Amino acid sequence: MVVKYGGSVADGGGTFASDVALLHRVGLRVVVVHGGGPQISRLSSRLGLEPRFVQGRRVTDAATLDVVQMVLLGQVNPQLVGAISGAGATAVGVSGTDGTLLTVAPADPALGRVGDVAAVNPHVLSTLLDQGAVPVVAPLGRGPDGLPYNVNADAAAGALAAALHADKLLVLTNVAGLYDDFGADGGGTLLATTTPDHLRELLAAGALSDGMVPKIASVLTALDAGVASAHLLDGRAEHALLLEIFTDEGVGTMIERGTP
């Protein structure tokens, strides 16, 4: 299974690392893809670089890309690797630029050094999984010019789940799931289950918040490639991963491929 751990919940720590370690101990093959958006914005501001976004995507000039790499590779990734290792599983930090894991095409020029996933070579992850490790992936990719690019972590997780033929994609974020009032956490009814077609309708209607759009797009990428199910979970909840996987009622929104 591929688990996307959002930067918005990474600060909190909680039970995530111990949950991943438990899944590993019971024999599940887990790949973690992490974000780091809030941490990148904080460091950017401290360095006098005002964070800018276009439709929810970070504008990444050369200086901002340096900050992105510092935070993802120097802060969030090693902290998460350490936490999972400390909980009893062997975790290994990986960048999407390692071993041609993520090859990207430059996105909108207005975004600067931001890339869209063009190809995935999952060999490095398959090797680590075969050796009994938990790969922890920082969402960077290498462009056609050989340079690193910032990659949306949701998009990276969906592409990796598709390439690995994962059974599940689980997206942990700072909302409880998908709501019937188009993703706003509050006032609506949490959808325990929904369908890929419904997600496509929401995207086409422009009915999702900027932050939810890449999550839903990543879910559809994975499901369309054969991943059996995807789950949107509240990463702030204690043991959200375990509750979603091992209980009948779950705790978030589940989307199954081929659901009528």
pLDDT of the residue at 11: 62
Give percent of the chain with pLDDT exceeding 90. Answer: 68
Which one, of 33, 60, 37, 38, lies nearest residue 49 by Cα? Answer: 60
Give percent of the chain with pLDDT exceeding 70. Answer: 93
Quote the tokens at residue 24. Answer: 């590993």
Q: How far apart are CA 38 and CA 9, in angstroms?
A: 9
pLDDT of the residue at 126: 97
Q: Taking 90 as the threshold, does the pLDDT of residue 78 lie above it?
A: yes
Q: Give the C-alpha distances (Å, rounded to integers) separating 109 from 60, 106, 148.
A: 10, 7, 15
Chain centre distance of CA 66: 21
Assign 84 a pLDDT band (cuts: 50, 70, 90): very high
Q: Taking 80 as the threshold, does the pLDDT of residue 222 lie above it?
A: yes
Range in 107-121, 178-192, 221-235 the model is least confident about: 178-192
Q: Taking 50 as the threshold, does the pLDDT of residue 70 lie above it?
A: yes
User: Per residue in 7-22, pLDDT tens?
Assistant: 777 665 678 999 999 9
The 10 Å Cβ neighbour count of residue 26 is 7
Is 234 in contact with 173 (CB distance < 8 Å)?
A: yes
pLDDT of the residue at 181: 62
Q: Taking 70 as the threshold, does the pLDDT of residue 97 lie above it?
A: yes
Quote the tokens at residue 11. Answer: 């600060």
Angle made by CA atoms 222, 125, 240, in degrees to the nearest 5: 55
For residues 216-222, average pLDDT: 92
The residue range of the domain holding 147 is 2-256
Q: How far apart are CA 141 and CA 46, in angstroms?
A: 25
Single pTM value for the model: 0.92
For residues 52-70, average pLDDT: 93
CATH number at residue 88: 3.40.1160.10
Q: How far apart are CA 135 and CA 22, in angstroms?
A: 15
Structurally, the chain folds into a number of domains equal to 1
Assign 231 a pLDDT band (cuts: 50, 70, 90): very high
Angle made by CA atoms 46, 210, 98, in degrees to the nearest 5: 65
Q: How far apart are CA 201 and CA 86, in angstroms?
A: 43
For residues 52-74, average pLDDT: 93
